[in-house]
Amino acid sequence: MEIWINPACSKCRSALTLLDAEGAEYTVRRYLEDVPGEAEIRAVLDRLGLEPWDITRTQEAAAKELGLKDWPRDAESRDRWIAALAGHPKLIQRPIITADDGTALVARSEEAVREALSHSKR
């Protein structure tokens, strides 16, 4: 499994602590440094079963500068949202765990991290 983190994020650090405590095997991706491209964001959204606006941190400065709160949330606007996430990775909600079975979760709670663990090999 892989976990996308921002090391400055307390939810990310909590998720890593829990994964370590459970002896999970995982790869850390510092997505602010190793920025996912649009195709990768699309793939993760498919695994999450979510739309790009569902994983967008709309309170970030970049979101306000882009005026994201006023962007349509529809199929025609999907590519625009994905481009914004790829161009401004700080907008991506975190942590995101991609599990071994092909699923993914936004793991902001202990319950979500445990669910990701249940979808992955130990």
The whole-number pLDDT of residue 63 equals 97
What is d(CA 52, CA 1) in angstroms, rounded to the nearest whole number?
Answer: 21
CB-based burial, 16-45: b 16+ in 10 Å, e otherwise: bebbeeeebebeebebbeebbeeeebbebb
pTM of the model: 0.93
Q: Shortest CA distance to 94 belongs to which of 80, 106, 82?
A: 106
Q: Assess whether pLDDT exceeds 70 at residue 27.
A: yes
Would you say residue 121 has pLDDT above 70? no
| Digit-coded pLDDT (tens) for 66-105 | 999 999 999 999 999 999 999 999 999 999 999 989 999 9
Indicate which residues carry an active-site annotation: 9
The pLDDT of residue 122 is 52
As a whole number, mean pLDDT of residues 17-33 equals 96
Report CA dihedral (118, 7, 78, 71) to the nearest 10 degrees. 130
Does 120 score more than 90 pLDDT?
A: no
**pLDDT tens digits, 35-57:** 999 999 999 999 999 999 999 99
